[in-house]
């Protein structure tokens, strides 16, 4: 695993200090890491898999005026999650905090991202994976993201190191063992990221 000290990360990519409230399921440093990457690379098209109510999306959008399109993907309100610990996270109104932002497109499917093909999504500069945290869910979302990301784009994952949802860590560690540690963990956060050498 490639680890990057949190202080070193913010020295490289900027402070990530943001205006707005910290979303419920993240920490301030998680959000700062995402915003620091956004401020460094100015993504125009962003996809979030597992937008939930849109708290993280709102922070990113409010602090990233260069974003032109933000696609949020989630499941229908009656969906039963694979992991029982995530059942309280299924939103009644997916993306409700950002639904009125003209840059936002919400895709709500019965099975969320599993009901999508790469052709259903535009080429993205930045993809944030924070949906189904089961091993299968993280694996499938990563495969989908890699088919949609542009060459040189960034994929981020949330909840690495979270012992309550170990599937995230297990899948990322497996990718790193098989592919040569291209996914980097920001120590002191639950964020991993990868600069994609291949893409659309």
For 143-164, how does the pLDDT look when each residue is reduced to its tens digit (9 = 90+)?
A: 999 999 999 999 999 999 999 9
SS3 call for 19: coil
pLDDT over 80 at 1, yes or no:
no
Record the pTM. 0.97
Q: What is the pLDDT of residue 23?
A: 85
Q: Where are the beta strands (DSSP E) in 38-195?
A: 45-49, 69-75, 104-109, 124-129, 149-158, 184-186, 191-195
Q: Which tens digits make up the pLDDT trace of 100-132?
A: 999 999 999 999 999 999 999 999 999 999 999
User: Which pLDDT value is given to residue 19?
Assistant: 85
Identify whether the C-beta of residue 154 lies closer than 8 Å to the C-beta of residue 163: no
Reading the block at residue 196, the tokens are 């994609």
Tell me which fold the domain 2-132+158-195 belongs to.
Answer: Rossmann fold (3.40.50)
Say which range, 19-23, 38-42, 47-51, 100-104, has the weakest mean pLDDT. Answer: 19-23
User: Mean per-residue pLDDT for 41-69?
Assistant: 97
Terminal-residue alpha carbon distance, the chain: 26
Average model confidence (pLDDT) for the chain? Answer: 96
| 76 vs 123: CA distance, rounded Å | 24
Q: Are 31 and 22 in contact (CB under 8 A)?
A: yes
Calpha distance 162→179 (Å, rounded) = 22
């Amino acid at each position: 695993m490639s680890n990057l000290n949190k202080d070193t990360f913010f020295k490289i990519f900027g402070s990530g200090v943001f205006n707005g409230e910290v979303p419920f399921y993240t920490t301030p440093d998680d959000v700062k890491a995402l915003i620091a990457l956004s401020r460094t690379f100015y993504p125009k098209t962003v996809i979030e898999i597992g937008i939930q109510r849109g708290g993280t999306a709102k922070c990113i959008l409010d602090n990233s005026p260069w974003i032109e399109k933000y696609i949020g993907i989630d499941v229908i309100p009656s969906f039963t999650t694979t992991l029982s610990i995530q059942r309280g996270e299924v939103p009644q109104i997916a993306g409700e905090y950002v639904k009125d932002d003209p840059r936002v497109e919400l895709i709500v499917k019965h099975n969320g991202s599993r009901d999508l093909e790469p052709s259903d999504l535009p080429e993205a500069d930045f993809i944030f994976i924070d949906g189904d945290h089961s091993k299968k869910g993280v694996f499938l979302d990563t495969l989908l993201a890699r088919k949609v990301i542009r060459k040189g784009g960034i994929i981020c994952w949330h909840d690495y190191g979270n012992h309550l949802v170990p599937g995230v860590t297990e899948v990322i560690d497996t990718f790193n063992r098989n592919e040569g540690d291209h996914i980097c963990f920001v120590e002191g956060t639950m964020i991993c990221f990868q600069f994609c050498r291949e893409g659309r």
